[in-house]
Structure 1
Amino acid sequence: MRAARLSVATAVATAAALAAVTGCTAKGGSGDGDNVIAVTSTDDKCEVSRKEFPAGHVELAIENKGSKVTEVYLLFPDDRVVTERENIGPGTKQRVTAEVKAGDYRIACKPGMKGKGIRQDVRATGGGTTAKRDPRLDEAVANYREYVQAQADETLPRAEAFAKAVKAGDVAAAKKAYALSRIGWERTEPVAESFGDIDPKVDVREDGLEDGQDPETDWTGWHRLEKALWQDGKIGDREKELADRLITDLKDWQNRVGKADITPTSMANGAKELLDEVATGKVTGEEERYSHTDLVDFKANVEGAEMSYRLLKPVAAENDAALTKELDQQFAALDKLLDAYRPDTKSYAFTSYDKVSEADRKKLSDAVNALAEPLSKLAAAVVTK
């Protein structure tokens, strides 16, 4: 879940005080191209350089001039996510490429990374150039769509085994089933997050709840059950109800994932988002703070990112051979580093993350960062030249 991934120390270091903000203004200017929108985020404004742009490929050139860590979204009117960029520190810049059809959209800046953000209504006009897309990219999208559906389909029986153990009051069996039930979700989380309403139900942490939400009544999903199992060490009637609700919500995800809006650029951006998930949640130990199964999620995130990359690589390699060479090297290095934490590379029996030293966590973080930087360029490399 994207909200509240940063640790307290990181939040202080980046002055990412979580606060509600209001207001939204538009800035004049043409940016540096018809398909480029300059987005300037401050603590109380979200300024965009244009409110209309040609359909097709669009690039958000984001600059955070505020004092808080922010994130920027390109949204459909119903709040489904077209693309996003999270964890943009004060004084830093990011660029993200997306593919859009003609229609209405919204750009949202979220200083403090909570709430609905400060929003601008924008519009893509005309027919764009998406019809000229390389047919190999259409094949990549089709194959990826099959992959995300398969991950959802495979998750359900694993989650049902987890829920069955919870409902039986079997703490040991539930603990054993917990991490495995999350693998398919973690591999494809950006697609699930694109719907907007499913992720907060199944994968939110307690400190990721929105202001005004009560943990006792509003906190649902895997991590609520994780806390009961590992911290409380007991299962009550509330947990049994939540186990049933988790399955209901995951079935909703399974039924909707085939209808997700997927493009080559959303695949590439999703790969980068998965690395961001690792950097801000898994490496810090924030994600699985009770179970310490972070390395299972870590591996699944990397596998999902690598799947997107492999499907897009034929086109990306033609457009930017140096980039794909570096990505091959960095994926291999990170995979090798992760494999050192499991005796059997065919299983997901990873070392408990509380047993991983700070020095080793630093090595993992460095490897993630070394991959994330070139991976952020993948979306631009699959845009048809």
Structure 2
Amino acid sequence: MNRTSVLAATTAVLVGTTLSACGTESTRPSSDGGSGDPRSLTVESSADACSLSGTEAPAGTLTFDVTNTGDQVTEFYLLGEDGLRIVAEVENIGPGITRPLTVSAPAGDYVTACKPGMTGEGIRGEFTVTESDQDVEVSADEQELVKQAQANYAAYVEDQSAQLLVKTERFVDLYTSGDDDAARTLYPDARQHWERIETVAESFGDLDPLMDAREADLEPGQEWTGWHVIEKDLWPQRAEDYTPLTERERTFYAEDLLDNTSELDVRVQELRYTIDSIANGSRGLMEEVATGKVTGEEEYWSRTDLWDFQANVDGARVAFEGVEPILEQKDPELAEQLSTRFDELQALLDQHREGDGFVTYDELTPAEVKQLADAVNALSEPLSQLTAAVLS
């Protein structure tokens, strides 16, 4: 078996390991615990059902304990009334695993969705958050920390979006002019700005599949557009009988990508971030690492997964550090543990640097992939506790 085949086989094993490890809280009992707390709900996700213990709850901090009773990995989403905007999500719930989703939800109408197999629109239902007089006493000091975290994260997202737009414009110019070598060099660098704010971009349910869909994840009849169409055209070596895109097709896909990137940049200017959305964003970015980057599936054609890996970690750490001052007041032990785990993961990533970037993913040995997967798992477990801790 050649080196690439060994890596692929090892990665296949690690996918299951990573998904299970991300759900290490599977033995935790339901957050309701028989207390009758209307803000503590249970969800059972099976192949053909998404059953909630209730379809409404009073405004405030809600916890959904999501149990996968099916035989496929599943996800659970709390969506806005339009069914597109992602309010909060928990991904990569393996069979038999229970994982919590904690979110601060104001009164309004929502949509819940379970996605067995992590594909399609999911099994959806209506959910209502009613008016509430829940009043959590917050000190002036904590209020200031919250305001600072929100302002800092908004500035970070807006900056990354602006840089993504600038580099996408440059990338499109190179690609459409036929300067493929320069386009290949810029590709992973430009993509990092997307990956650092991926969970924010994914909250726009209409834009994300247009910009970042992978060929393997396409639904029947779904048109493939975005970064990875162009990636395949620039790195067709792994494709059988590939027909290069025509000049006209290149222009179409490149301009479509740029138009959607411009729309993304407009939309992020209008976003406001709650503390739970920042904390959940940190966890969500590490879930992206677990399911796409550490497995080598995200950049299937270019093998530039480590650039994406680093960018997801960058974004997760920025989000964590934004709420870290609040966490240090409420759970200093968890704050220290998370900081240490981020450092350990970063040290491993740094071992694979080459020049201004990284080695390609096919250059990693199976043992090196497992090291990275283990470090991701070690960080993901305590990170799953972050949102509940900062909202306590």
Asked whether the two chains share a fold, i.e. TM above 0.5, the reply is yes
Displacement of 1:259 in angstroms is 2.0
User: Does residue 65 of the first structure (1) align with residue 69 of the second (2)?
Assistant: yes
Determine which of 83, 90, 96 is the counterpart of 1:85. 90
Displacement of 1:243 in angstroms is 0.7
User: Does residue 245 of the first structure (1) align with residue 256 of the second (2)?
Assistant: yes
Q: Percent identity?
A: 43
User: Does residue 211 of the first structure (1) align with residue 215 of the second (2)?
Assistant: no
Hey, what's the Cα distance between the residues in 2 that align with 1:72 and 1:382? 21
The residue aligned with 1:291 is: 302
The residue aligned with 1:332 is: 343
Hey, what's the Cα distance between the residues in 1 that align with 2:178 and 2:220? 32
Render the CA deviation track for 1:338-372: whole Å, top value 9, x for unaligned.
1111145xx3x111111011110000000001001
Hey, what's the Cα distance between the residues in 2 that align with 1:248 and 1:130? 43
Change (3 A) 1:357 1:10: closer
Determine which of 341, 356, 360 is the counterpart of 1:352. 360
Change (3 A) 1:310 1:131: same
User: Does residue 115 of the first structure (1) align with residue 120 of the second (2)?
Assistant: yes
The residue aligned with 1:166 is: 175
SS in 2 for 1:104: strand
Hey, what's the Cα distance between the residues in 2 that align with 1:14 and 1:166? 36
Displacement of 1:266 in angstroms is 1.1
Determine which of 275, 278, 281 is the counterpart of 2:289. 278
Letter of the 1:363 counterpart: Q
Change (3 A) 1:140 1:129: farther
Determine which of 130, 136, 150 is the counterpart of 2:159. 150
Change (3 A) 1:110 1:30: farther
Hey, what's the Cα distance between the residues in 1 that align with 2:133 and 2:219? 37
Change (3 A) 1:183 1:374: same
- Structural mapping, 1:291-330, within 5 Å: 291-330=302-341
Render the CA deviation track for 1:173-207: whole Å, top value 9, x for unaligned.
11011111111110011111111111101111012
Q: Is the Cα–Cα contact under 8 Å of residues 14 and 69 in structure 1 kept in the other structure?
A: no
SS in 2 for 1:177: helix
Which has the bigger relative contact order, CA under 8 A and spacing at least 6? 2
Letter of the 1:373 counterpart: E
Render the CA deviation track for 1:222-256: whole Å, top value 9, x for unaligned.
11100000015955221221111111000000000
TM-score w.r.t. the length of structure 1 is: 0.88
Q: Is the Cα–Cα contact under 8 Å of residues 202 and 208 in structure 2 kept in the other structure?
A: yes
Displacement of 1:115 in angstroms is 1.1
The residue aligned with 2:106 is: 101
User: Does residue 364 of the first structure (1) align with residue 372 of the second (2)?
Assistant: yes
Hey, what's the Cα distance between the residues in 2 that align with 1:90 and 1:276? 16
Q: Is the Cα–Cα contact under 8 Å of residues 160 and 197 in structure 2 kept in the other structure?
A: yes
Relative to structure 2, which stretch is displaced further, 227-236 or 275-284? 227-236
Letter of the 2:280 counterpart: N
Change (3 A) 1:166 1:130: farther
Displacement of 1:67 in angstroms is 1.2
Q: Is the Cα–Cα contact under 8 Å of residues 46 and 109 in structure 1 kept in the other structure?
A: yes
Relative to structure 2, which stretch is displaced further, 299-308 or 49-58? 49-58
Q: Is the Cα–Cα contact under 8 Å of residues 31 and 38 in structure 1 kept in the other structure?
A: no
Q: Aligned residues, how many?
A: 358
Q: Is the Cα–Cα contact under 8 Å of residues 169 and 235 in structure 1 kept in the other structure?
A: no
Change (3 A) 1:100 1:47: same
Structure 2 residue runs of 5 or longer lacking an equivalent are: 1-10, 20-32, 237-241
Structure 1 residue runs of 5 or longer lacking an equivalent are: 1-6, 16-28
The residue aligned with 2:45 is: 41
Hey, what's the Cα distance between the residues in 1 that align with 2:385 and 2:250? 43
Letter of the 1:147 counterpart: Y
CA RMSD in angstroms comes to 2.2
Q: Is the Cα–Cα contact under 8 Å of residues 14 and 295 in structure 2 kept in the other structure?
A: no
SS in 2 for 1:37: strand
Render the CA deviation track for 1:250-300: whole Å, top value 9, x for unaligned.
000000012235211111111111111111111111001111110000000
